[in-house]
Structure 1
Amino acid sequence: MRSTISTIRTRRAASLRVAAAVAAGALALSLTACGGDDDKDDSGSRGSGDKETAASVTLPKLDGETLEVAAVWTGAEQKNFKQVLAEFEKRTGAKVTFVPAQDPIINFLGSKIAGGQPPDVAMLPQPGAIKQAVDKGWAKPLGAEATKELAENYSQGWQDIGKVDGKSYGVYYKAANKSLIWYNAQVFENAGASEPKTWDELLTTAQTVYDSGVTPFSVGGADGWTLTDWFENIYLSQAGPEKYDQLAKHEIKWTDPSVKEALTTLAEIWGKKDYIAGGAKGALQTEFPASVTQTFTGGDQPKAGMVYEGDFVQVNIGETKAKVGTDAKVFPFPAVGGTAPVVSGGDAAVILEDSKAAQALATFLASPDAATVHAKLGGYLSPNKNVDASAYPNDVQRKMAEALLAAGDDFRFDMSDQAPQAFGGTPGKGEWKALQDFLKNPKDIAGTQAKLEADAAAAYGG
């Protein structure tokens, strides 16, 4: 969705389909075979969380230095990241303070900068936000050490998505596989439902779950970003990667027939109020964390049998009694077209106040050391190719990480995250609001397309 984003390289459709098929196929085979729980690990890595992580990156002594790091992360996600920052403090002597930010983070940072109190580093969840930070003169380029770590540890695609005009600004510290559907294993067993591989099979599975007395889907519609992720998976699989890239850069309009086709497909689920927990009204009042927890509480009679979202769903499953791999299982987002989609997302560390300490933190976050600390805690995936798979605490997450890396450079980044923040990343506006309205009225496909195009044109500048 961004004509000015030069970091997403256009790749041949055939190349992506092969890589996506490999990644999705590997994911399908590995996830369905997982039966281990979250407490045990055959590699012994679960218990290694209390051990010191061997240092592979050289960091300077920073006694007396202070840093502020801003991110929108909350709950377990924030708690685990603070342990990574604590490791940095231990190695350098610096003092790091986590600053809770609000969405959209660009607006939050603007207020902090206007008040003369910018954080030293910000974790930005969108390439579009990185571009805006550079355009506003806020972001500072990565130094030689951080750039060296990136070159050693990241595929070219993950390096490029953190660049603006060929210069590195972002370290993609955290990645997401956003092409997953999680399900309550007991519900599926009781219903006699099976894991689908195609969209038509997903509809059949949904009906089977419904017939068993359980609502098929939980949707966190109060958070508009979850709805954009639904659309993107359908669009990528159905329209193909070339169209996906064009729409992502707004080189084709949202009134294009391919968008109509994707919305029509999406309405096959969103248009059946009995398929969504609480109906559209209930979904629009359900935030993402609750959409997960209500799928895995209530025994074999939860509010819903399935919930769509990325690998980070595990963090919220951890708030229930369900165990990943036994009570909570997962399958790849089914193929709508010829190939199952592989959509990625992520969060990048961007320096706002350039200093020796800020550059050292960016270097640390680009190293396998930081990612290994976080990986052991669960609910996290790293695009860092030199993080050993044994660092992940269970088979499910380990296989997700392997599938993410198997895609190499041939992945597609979350479309709305590539957009200007006003269109793809602001609550109550742009794509988030248009798709919330579509969830409320899935029959209004033409009206939804018109609204999406009007908002996109305004955000992209025509």
Structure 2
Amino acid sequence: MMRRPSTTPRRIAAATSAALTLALGATACGGGTTAPASGGELSGQTVTVAGVWTGSEQKNFKKVLDAFTAKTGAKTVFVPSGDNVSTFVGSKIEGGNAPDVVMVPQVGVLKQFAKEGWLQPLSEQTAKTADASLAPVWKNYGTVDGTYYGLYFKAAHKSTVWYAPDAFTQAGAGEPKSWADLLKTGRSLADSGRPAFAIAGEDGWTLTDWFENVYLSQAGPEKYDQLAQHKIKWTDDSVVRALTTLGELFKDNQLVAGGAQAALQTDFPSSVEQVFGPAPKAGMVYEGDFVGGVAKDQFGRKPGTDAKFFPFPAVDGGKAPVVSGGDAAVVLKQGKNGKAGMALVEFLASPEAAEVWAGAGGFLSPNSKVAPSAYGDATARSTAESLVAAGDSVRFDMSDQAPAAFGGTKGAGEWKLLQDFLRDPSDPQGAAAKLEAEAAKAYGN
């Protein structure tokens, strides 16, 4: 299963203080270990951190760990978990070699860890810092049965529509402000010679993101929360209405590059290539802020200049949606150094920690205390400001809140059924019934 990317455009920027300059200059030892600074309240201690990050994301997170080392003297070790964090952590606990801190990318997994009794409640200091710097919704997503276990450190803004400016210029189109305008703009693009959307239908998670943005705007946050918790059924009229709306896009070959069959053979990286690659086949691609990073790193596009985005537009008079994802830091009871692990999470709660990665690139923080100037370009800055400004109206990716059998498994559950709906969107009511049948099995109700 391909992990949902959470990267934004890669940027290099100077650190904003002497401490951060020292941190960014620190070097990693073999095995992913960061060399500790001399002195410091945690000198001689080691914190092991597990997470899904690889490549540039892992490299940039290690810069944050370096900053923690420079501040406290603690040594750090980063251990890649692979995509299945739950299986990885369970096996490490069983083998008596559990990490101290885990960066958890899904609300459902965080809840699972809490119910298994694996997590330590976060410290009063972390909770106090979070209260002052995070919208309550972020703290709520890290809370299980009234206990605060997970600090959201890294976020993704999954309500951005990216486009090729030359395609819009050729079509005489502007950035749409509503769903109706979006479809109209798409048809103008098609009339000028370039289909509207590259859709990554091969990766079912992208289709869940399409649905979630339409649903959040059209049905509103309260209904969104109810559906995410399966307190209302997928046969609810609001779901059928959202599927009907989404079907307007899926059934129109002017709007879907190559039609549904081509979309079902297009993965996420290929969808970005179809808009920003050397032989463009579409004018727009919907996904998160991380599209800009792929466009820059893989195809040399400059975000804000020849790779632009606009907010996912409001649907049927609703508010423009802000759907997010994120990675939460949790402390395991079974780790060998819980005290130092808790100190790391306290550091991650600070704007200082977030600004290290913001300067390095590929990062958004939900922390309102992070200075906008810490981000290395205007596109990242405006995306981060939009995420923070959304406050409590932000909603976490719905499929990431669901049991994995329904919301996170390739070829099954919601992913498979929305692929089927892309293939044939003629029966929204029937699709809703199938979604409800799978959801009921996964949620056990």
Q: Answer yes or no: same fold by TM over 0.5.
A: yes
Q: 2:294 aligns with which of 316, 320, 329?
A: 316
* 2-structure distance, mates of 1:318, 1:93: 36
Determine whether 1:449 maps to 2:432. Answer: yes
SS in 2 for 1:221: coil
Determine whether 1:209 maps to 2:189. Answer: yes
SS in 2 for 1:175: strand
Unaligned runs of 5+ in 2: 1-8, 23-38
RMSD: 2.5
Q: CA deviation at 1:135?
A: 0.7
Q: After the TM superposition, which of the residue ranges 411-420 and 362-371 deviates more from structure 2?
A: 411-420
Matches within 5 A, 1:31-42: none
Q: 2:399 aligns with which of 416, 421, 443?
A: 416
Q: CA deviation at 1:365?
A: 0.9
Q: CA deviation at 1:459?
A: 1.8
Matches within 5 A, 1:71-150: 71-150=51-130
Matches within 5 A, 1:369-388: 369-388=352-371
Q: CA deviation at 1:215?
A: 2.5
CA contact (8 A) 1:313 1:379 kept: no
Q: CA deviation at 1:254?
A: 0.4
Partner residue of 1:331? 310
SS in 2 for 1:376: helix
Q: CA deviation at 1:280?
A: 3.1
CA contact (8 A) 1:153 1:385 kept: yes
Q: 2:225 aligns with which of 245, 257, 260?
A: 245
SS in 1 for 2:260: helix
Partner residue of 1:198? 178
SS in 2 for 1:172: strand
Q: Deviations over 1:316-347 (max 9, x none)?
A: 12212110111011111111121221222221
Write the letter of the residue equivalent to 1:98.
Answer: F
Partner residue of 2:384? 401
CA pair 38-254 structure 1, distance change in 2 beyond 3 A: closer
Q: CA deviation at 1:148?
A: 3.2
Q: Deviations over 1:20-57 (max 9, x none)?
A: xxxxxxxxxxxxxxxxx998xxxxx93447964389xx
Q: Deviations over 1:247-266 (max 9, x none)?
A: 12211110112111111111
CA pair 76-124 structure 1, distance change in 2 beyond 3 A: same
Q: CA deviation at 1:113?
A: 3.0
- Ranked by relative contact order (alpha carbons within 8 Å, sequence separation 6 or more), the top structure is 1
Write the letter of the residue equivalent to 1:53.
Answer: L
CA pair 80-284 structure 1, distance change in 2 beyond 3 A: farther
TM-score under structure 1 length normalisation: 0.83
Q: CA deviation at 1:103?
A: 3.1
Write the letter of the residue equivalent to 2:93.
Answer: I
SS in 1 for 2:392: coil
SS in 2 for 1:53: helix
Determine whether 1:182 maps to 2:165. Answer: no
Q: CA deviation at 1:297?
A: 1.6
* 2-structure distance, mates of 1:86, 1:357: 14
CA pair 113-279 structure 1, distance change in 2 beyond 3 A: farther
Partner residue of 1:61? 41
CA pair 52-430 structure 1, distance change in 2 beyond 3 A: same
TM-score under structure 2 length normalisation: 0.86
CA pair 256-377 structure 1, distance change in 2 beyond 3 A: same
CA contact (8 A) 1:121 1:358 kept: yes
Matches within 5 A, 1:287-298: 287-298=267-278
Write the letter of the residue equivalent to 2:369.
Answer: N
Q: CA deviation at 1:450?
A: 2.0
* 1-structure distance, mates of 2:201, 2:327: 22
Q: 2:148 aligns with which of 146, 162, 168?
A: 168
CA contact (8 A) 2:19 2:70 kept: no
Q: CA deviation at 1:434?
A: 1.8
CA contact (8 A) 2:205 2:408 kept: yes
Determine whether 1:263 maps to 2:214. Answer: no
Q: CA deviation at 1:293?
A: 3.6
Determine whether 1:355 maps to 2:333. Answer: no
CA contact (8 A) 2:186 2:254 kept: no
Q: CA deviation at 1:388?
A: 0.8
* 1-structure distance, mates of 2:264, 2:92: 31
* 1-structure distance, mates of 2:175, 2:79: 41
Q: After the TM superposition, which of the residue ranges 186-195 and 84-93 deviates more from structure 2?
A: 84-93
CA contact (8 A) 1:314 1:379 kept: no
Q: Deviations over 1:209-244 (max 9, x none)?
A: 112222221222333222111001101111222222
Q: CA deviation at 1:384?
A: 0.9
SS in 1 for 2:138: helix
Q: CA deviation at 1:407?
A: 2.2
Q: Deviations over 1:374-407 (max 9, x none)?
A: 1112231111111111101112221222222222
Unaligned runs of 5+ in 1: 1-36, 40-44
Q: After the TM superposition, which of the residue ranges 306-315 and 358-367 deviates more from structure 2?
A: 306-315
SS in 1 for 2:99: coil
Q: After the TM superposition, which of the residue ranges 345-354 and 172-181 deviates more from structure 2?
A: 345-354
CA contact (8 A) 1:105 1:124 kept: yes
CA pair 207-151 structure 1, distance change in 2 beyond 3 A: same
Q: CA deviation at 1:279?
A: 3.6
CA pair 38-92 structure 1, distance change in 2 beyond 3 A: closer
* 1-structure distance, mates of 2:256, 2:354: 36
CA contact (8 A) 1:60 1:360 kept: no
CA contact (8 A) 1:174 1:347 kept: yes
In the alignment of these two chains, the number of paired residues is 416
Q: 2:13 aligns with which of 46, 50, 62?
A: 46
CA contact (8 A) 2:40 2:74 kept: no
